[in-house]
Amino acid sequence: MNLKTIRIMSKNYTKFKSRFIPIVLFVIVFVIFFQIEKFQDFLAVNLISQLLIFLFVACIPAYLTKRMSYVDIAWPFGLISIGIIVIFFGEGYLPRKIIISSLYIIAGLRMGLGALVLLKKGYLDKELPRYQFQRIRWNKKGFTNNSFSIQYEILLQCFANITFLVIPAIMISNNSNEHFSIFEIIGFVLWIAFFLMEHVADLQKQAFLINAKKNKLKNQVCNVGLWKYTRHPNYFSEWMIWNSLIFASFSSLIFYLDETFIFIGLLISLLYISFLMYQTLVFLTGAIPSEYYTLIKRPDYKKYKENTNMFFPKLF
């Protein structure tokens, strides 16, 4: 076996590993949760719902058009589905079920309706920049079959909704304690605060772009309001929304203290959600992909980049 063959085998193994490990993680988490009997109906219904939503809203349109952007419709409507399932299959305290259901539905509606507006206005007739960037990422890793990669990436988001991202909903909605814990109160308040922050950031950018267009100013860099403190206040807020749900879920862990394997699996899974969303919002479909094209389009963005943090707000 010569050196060239070894290099090819090593490259192929790296490619295989990069796509096989995420699937394995999703399967492990699903299996761990399925060991809890009262979660089984919830998980089964969510599995079917997510697969159907992503199949008809994202996978089939992506197959026909070779565009991945439809996942921006499927993912939030998957969150709405989770919120609805909570009401029917959660076995916990009703007010708690209503709250966690509402949080998922509200978050899903905000993003889902926004994506439908983009669809109606024709913005999804071409691939969104952050998904154009995926092709660059795939090519660097040696993945040349874009059609397969598109379906794979869409299904990763589907599997995230089936496993990790449903964890806060399923844990909180099955908590039968008739009193809200300090973890839940703080978590829910933080969720509201960061949801509003994300919405305000979007409104500020929209107003900035409208004003720039009105004054016939092209390729301007939004550096007003929340955008003075971080280059991506919307992505940071979205990450903190999920951290808030994780924090609120901690009080539900006490019901599994007697089952060490389940308890450890739930705790690790909750913490992994934060890592998963950070990776997604910074490296995969968030900050870095959007900045790749912004730097090309907006010359002043380089100076903005030098003076403003990418993700975490710089307050001082």
Q: Supply the pLDDT for residue 2.
A: 66
Q: What is the number of residues in the chain?
A: 316
Q: Give the whole-angstrom CA distance, residue 173 versus residue 241.
A: 18
Determine contact, residues 237/224, Cβ cutoff 8 Å. no
Predicted confidence (pLDDT) at residue 8 exceeds the cutoff of 80: no
Q: Give the whole-angstrom CA distance, residue 152 versus residue 136.
A: 16
Q: Supply the pLDDT for residue 302.
A: 93
Quick one: pLDDT band at residue 6, thresholds 50, 70, 90?
low
Whole-structure pTM over 0.75, yes or no? yes
pLDDT tens by residue, 24-63 = 999 999 998 998 999 999 999 999 999 999 999 999 999 9
C-alpha distances (whole Å) from 198 to each of 68, 124, 191, 275 are: 24, 22, 11, 19
Higher pLDDT, 147 or 2: 147
**Averaged pLDDT, 267-285:** 96
Determine contact, residues 161/75, Cβ cutoff 8 Å. yes
Quick one: pLDDT band at residue 14, thresholds 50, 70, 90?
confident
Structure token pair of residue 8:
């090819």
pLDDT tens by residue, 166-184 = 999 999 999 999 999 999 9
**Averaged pLDDT, 151-164:** 97
B/e letters for 253-271, b = 16+ CB within 10 Å, e = fewer, are bebbeeeeebeebbeebbe
Q: H-type helices in the chain, by residue range?
A: 3-34, 40-54, 60-65, 71-89, 94-120, 129-141, 146-162, 167-173, 182-214, 233-249, 260-279, 287-297, 301-307
Quick one: pLDDT band at residue 3, thresholds 50, 70, 90?
low
Burial of 206 (0-12, 13-18, 19+ CB in 10 A): exposed
**Which residues are within 8 A (CB) of 42 and not within 5 positions of it... i.e. 6 or more apart?**
85, 89, 90, 166, 170, 173, 174
Structure token pair of residue 110:
């905000």
Q: Supply the pLDDT for residue 316.
A: 67
